[in-house]
Chains A and B, each alone.
Chain A
């Protein structure tokens, strides 16, 4: 784990006394073999965006699923919105999960439903009137720039469009926490940039706290060095030398959290593994 004393202080960190949206303490998990995660502890403060870095196969997606209660840890404590969920029964987890939005690695859109029904899935379960569903779906699709796909089926969309629809589905319920599982994985650079721009837009327009899993450094740095300009309707770089104070980094190595800090800390760390990853 990173030792804060070794690094320069952050420019401006999220309010330390605000109770975290997510707090993971000493979490262990394994599946019929060596542990996938060991002794993982971190938290996500309100309005904070945490970027979880690491090569493939180190347990990033597992960690994200633990946060949402989709997996249960073998040991340790996980608090989501102040409630302990480590061993919470599935039925009690559903209302908590409904307050989060999750974007899966391969979009995980329902094949048999149209884009409208995919995006409106939660609203349909809550029996929201059709007119309101249509209005909110169009609004969410407009946010991701895909209003024209309203009546399409996922099979007719490209990979990038599917990710954007998945983001619209995660956002429609105005979540209090967003979880992105490698949202740019397997996409071309232009589409990846569009996806990151959407994530920035959500961060800067709505201020939703989020946990973003990625193995792409350029995405992580873009998150920190850019902001969404609502007037121009696109993301723009921050002035030279400035970074977003609410975007911080975590890094996993073989199931262990080896770094927790700001971009400044990340760039000046002495940890060999982190340095190798950055290089």
Chain B
């Protein structure tokens, strides 16, 4: 085979993948923007919004609560060991609260909610696509993006905000549990260090991030769900794509948001 032809054949899959990536990104941008803007044009499906708040928010409380609690426990265990070398175990509370509130509370809640809800949204909408329920909805004169995606996106944004607060609170409680019962330190000192160590910029940083993460989780779930092709196997593929993409995007967005927020609050 001539070398130039072999080179060209090697480039074709790369070119196709690159084009596909650009097209998918473009489709996602158009889809997620229109889903977001639907809130400002009637009809707005408020009952669906409340149902999704219950499904996404209330349904995720237990996993978020447990994740937050045990993360706080681990942070307390690990930090106490390290801080003991410097005789600074008294600031364990400060370490745990800052780490939970600025970073881990939002990110872990985002990843956990993504695992639970991006997958369920993608599989639910994907199943509706393959059984022609989405086409039926369009045929009945209703916009599926407005009816299904917009309520899920806003419900996820608002619920992730509150779930992050739950994760932060239980993380601090987990840290207190380890500090008091395993490390045998003073609980009052732990909580006073938590209180002293926290400032408004820390709290703002921790509560701005879930707004973006909620948007990522629901918009990615809806996007891949509504693009499902290929029957039940396609539903599985969409679910995997939704969880993987939203989890990776959450971590990437966390890095960029941290940079921006640290710059703003320096």
Contacts and interface: CB of A to CB of B under 8 A. Distances in A.
Interface string B111-155: 000000000000000001001110111111111000000000000
B87 interface: no
Interface of A: 65, 68, 70, 90-91, 94-95, 97-98, 100, 102, 104-106, 108-111, 121-122, 125, 169, 179
Given A90-B143, A98-B140, A125 B132 contact: no
Contacts of A102: 136, 139
Contacts of B139: 68, 70, 97, 100, 102, 104, 179
B2 interface: no
B13 interface: no
Contact of B141 (A65, A111, A122, A169): A122
A71 B132 CA distance: 13
B31 to A, nearest CB: 12
A142 B185 CA distance: 74
Contact of A65 (B43, B135, B142): B135
Contact of A70 (B128, B135, B143): B135
A104 B135 CA distance: 9
A68 B139 CA distance: 7
A65 B135 CA distance: 9
Contact of A91 (B132, B137, B140, B143): B143
A108 B132 contact: yes
Contacts of B143: 90-91, 94
15 contacts: A65-B135, A70-B138, A70-B139, A94-B142, A100-B139, A102-B136, A102-B139, A105-B132, A106-B132, A108-B132, A108-B133, A109-B133, A111-B131, A125-B140, A169-B140
A65 B139 CA distance: 9
Contacts of A90: 138, 143
Nearest to A90: B143
A97 B135 CA distance: 11
Contacts of A125: 43, 140-142
Contacts of B142: 94, 121-122, 125
> Which 4 residue pairs spanning A and B have beta carbons closest together?
A98-B141, A108-B136, A108-B132, A102-B139
Interface in B236-256: none
Interface string B61-76: 0000000000000000
A114 to B, nearest CB: 15
A104 B140 contact: no
- Among A91, A95, A108, A169, the most chain B Cβ lie within 10 Å of the Cβ of A108
A106 B131 contact: yes
B258 to A, nearest CB: 38
A104 B136 contact: yes
Nearest to B135: A70
Contact of A95 (B43, B133, B136, B141): B141
Contacts of A121: 137, 140, 142
A68 B138 CA distance: 9
A104 B141 contact: no
A55 to B, nearest CB: 21
Contacts of B141: 94-95, 97-98, 122, 125
A95 B132 CA distance: 20
A108 B135 contact: yes
A178 to B, nearest CB: 11
Nearest to A68: B139
Contacts of B136: 102, 104, 108-110
Contacts of A169: 140
Contacts of A106: 131-132
Nearest to B47: A124
Nearest to B139: A102
Given A90-B143, A91-B143, A125-B43, A108 B138 contact: no
Contacts of B128: 110
Given A90-B143, A125-B43, A97 B138 contact: yes
B262 to A, nearest CB: 42
Contacts of A179: 139
Interface in B24-76: 43
Contacts of B135: 65, 70, 104, 108
